[in-house]
């Protein structure tokens, strides 16, 4: 049983991670940290977690912690990941991996030097809906890909618990960073292809501070497919995904949702060739169990830190494009067997 310590035990840990650990067959949470010790102790008591810390370094060095899960706001990821790496603890970090690609590269290189397992929590790669769409595409069920569309919206008003979402110094970006990274990673995974150029435009308003409140991205993939990513903090929760090929279309109205069953349709012309209803309920458990397997040497974790770095290169290019008004090139990341 792999014992995890969670750094930054906030909304995401309560809403998603702890239910996931509850379904896990290979992991449990033995420690957490928050910046305020009284709050850390309260959270630990509430969730029956043995150890509470207000020091990231103390959590990472605890002999009761085998692996670290970083869930702090984005600007803290670099320091928190490096603390885990320095302690020699395998570390799984939430998306986006950092504030920019330079920070991501620093994490990846530090983990390599210390020979520490380092992964990024792009959890939707474990979604049954996403995996099934990937299988359809790989199997040629819709022919050569022409277009791919992923959207992610939710309301982030003044009452939203993550107050830092509109602070560029903490978040790095608006919905491009927060949920656009999910859309980008999902399209990269399904297409098994890399983005070479990005064009982006963003919208802001009085509530969005120094980040965008909505954005539209066009992704140019190396094998010719075009992807669109639409993200917003100003629309109801929705995560549609549509893949258009030369001989068919795959679509799911809410493909990334983890709370209710998802229907995938395969269409040719006006005909629905097949319908599949799948559940994504166990993805957070699958994610930590896969990381535990990698720690124990049973398999490789499928989303290493280099994947987070490649996503960040795309995010950085999108922000550059908003400023320049031009398509921006995306540098490729060298990793095992791929560039």
- DSSP E strands in 27-181: the ranges are 27-33, 51-53, 67-70, 91-94, 118-121, 145-153
Is 307 domain-assigned? no
Handedness of CA 89, 95, 99, 103 (dihedral sign): positive
30 closest CA partner among 66, 68, 3, 61: 3
Q: Are residues 192 and 259 in the same domain?
A: yes
Q: What total of structural domains would you count in the chain? A: 2
Is 337 domain-assigned? no
Is 334 domain-assigned? no
Range of the domain at 157: 125-280+312-329
Peptide bond into 317 cis (omega under 30): no
Confidence label for 338 from pLDDT (cuts 50, 70 and 90): very low
Distance CA 251, CA 248 (A): 10
pTM value surpassing 0.85: yes
Tell me the pLDDT tens digit for each residue of 51-65: 999 999 999 999 999
Q: Are residues 98 and 236 in the same domain?
A: no
CB-facing half-sphere around the CA of 76: CA atoms within 13 A: 16
Chain centroid offset of residue 78 CA: 16
Tell me the pLDDT tens digit for each residue of 158-204: 778 888 999 999 999 999 999 999 999 999 999 999 999 999 999 99
Q: Are residues 170 and 82 in the same domain?
A: no
Q: Are residues 86 and 191 in the same domain?
A: no
Q: Are residues 58 and 143 in the same domain?
A: no
Q: Report the relative pairing of strands 226-232 and 145-153 from DSSP bridges.
A: parallel
Q: Are residues 325 and 177 in the same domain?
A: yes
Q: Are residues 242 and 96 in the same domain?
A: no
Confidence label for 337 from pLDDT (cuts 50, 70 and 90): very low
Is 251 domain-assigned? yes
Q: Are residues 114 and 176 in the same domain?
A: no
Q: Are residues 136 and 101 in the same domain?
A: no
Q: Are residues 10 and 95 in the same domain?
A: yes
Tell me the pLDDT tens digit for each residue of 263-307: 999 999 999 999 999 999 999 999 999 999 999 999 999 999 999
What pLDDT score was predicted for residue 212?
A: 97
């Amino acid at each position: 049983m792999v014992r995890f310590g969670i750094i930054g035990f906030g909304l995401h840990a309560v809403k998603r991670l702890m239910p996931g650990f509850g379904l896990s067959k290979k992991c449990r949470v033995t420690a957490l940290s928050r910046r305020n010790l009284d709050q850390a102790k309260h959270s630990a008591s509430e969730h029956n977690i043995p150890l509470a810390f207000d020091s990231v370094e103390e959590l990472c060095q605890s002999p009761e912690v085998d692996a670290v899960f970083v869930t702090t706001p984005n600007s803290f990821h670099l320091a928190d990941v490096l603390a885990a790496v320095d302690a020699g603890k395998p570390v799984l970090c939430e998306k986006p991996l950092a504030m920019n690609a330079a920070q991501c590269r620093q994490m990846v290189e530090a983990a390599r030097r210390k020979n520490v397992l380092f992964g990024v929590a792009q959890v939707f790669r474990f979604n049954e809906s996403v995996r099934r769409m990937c299988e359809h595409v790989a199997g040629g069920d819709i022919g050569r890909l022409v277009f791919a569309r992923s959207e992610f919206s939710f309301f982030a008003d003044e009452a939203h618990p993550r107050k830092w979402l509109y602070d560029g110094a903490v978040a790095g970006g608006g919905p491009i960073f927060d949920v656009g990274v999910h859309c980008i990673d999902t399209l990269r995974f399904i297409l098994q292809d890399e983005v070479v150029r990005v064009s982006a435009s963003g919208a802001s308003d009085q509530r969005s501070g120094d980040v965008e409140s909505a954005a539209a991205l066009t992704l140019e993939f190396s094998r010719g497919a075009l992807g669109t990513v639409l993200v917003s903090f100003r629309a109801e929760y929705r995560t549609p995904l549509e893949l258009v090929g030369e001989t068919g279309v795959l679509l799911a109205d809410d493909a990334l949702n983890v709370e209710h069953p998802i229907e995938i349709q395969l269409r040719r012309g006006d005909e629905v060739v097949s319908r599949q209803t799948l559940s994504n309920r166990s993805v957070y458990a699958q994610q930590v169990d896969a990381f535990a397997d990698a720690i124990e040497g049973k398999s490789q974790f499928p989303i290493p830190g280099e994947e987070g770095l490649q996503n960040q290169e795309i995010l950085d290019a999108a922000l550059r494009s908003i400023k320049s008004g031009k398509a921006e090139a995306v540098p490729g990341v060298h990793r095992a067997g791929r560039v």
